[in-house]
Amino acid sequence: MTSNAERAAILVRALRAGIEGNARTIEDVCTDDVRAWTPALSTASRAELMTELERRDDVFSDIELEVAPLEVSGDYACVEWSVTMTHTGPLTLAEGMTLDPTGTSVWLNGVTIAEFRDDRICSLRQYWDELGVFEQLGLLPREPLVD
């Protein structure tokens, strides 16, 4: 049986592989039928997940990931994470609109929860504030912190 620390380490490997586009690691750590959901995608297999990762463009670069594994039990691992990145490529928006690179440094915080079958991830759920990224890029007005 895989320990909590080992599951957390596997999840961190998967997160880094997603950022780096490392398909080999995704193959190693995920089951064939892995399901994944984020605010930006939903997949029902490892093949679909890998296709989505291959579609990633170069919208952001200089990506720095920090993770903090959380203590959980059973067949789950959970990490909180922070990422900083620079907007260096065109971002395709709804209805074919494109935001040209701004050079803006963007940060966001999120959580990823993974369910395991033996020592491989069979389900991933990831949560972050997608509108916060749009706000930092100047696509939405910033809300005041205090009135």
Q: Would you say residue 139 has pLDDT above 90? A: no
Report whether 23 contacts 30 (CB < 8 A).
no
Give the CATH class of 4-136.
alpha beta
Q: Is 146 exposed, middle or buried (0-12, 13-18, 19+ CB in 10 A)?
A: exposed
C-alpha to C-alpha distance for 88 and 108, rounded to whole angstroms: 17
Q: Per-residue pLDDT tens for 73-105? A: 889 999 999 999 999 999 888 788 889 999 999
* pLDDT at residue 35, as a whole number: 97
Residue 125 pLDDT level (bands cut at 50, 70, 90): very high
| Terminal C-alpha separation, the chain | 52
Global pTM reads: 0.86
Q: Would you say residue 123 has pLDDT above 90? A: yes
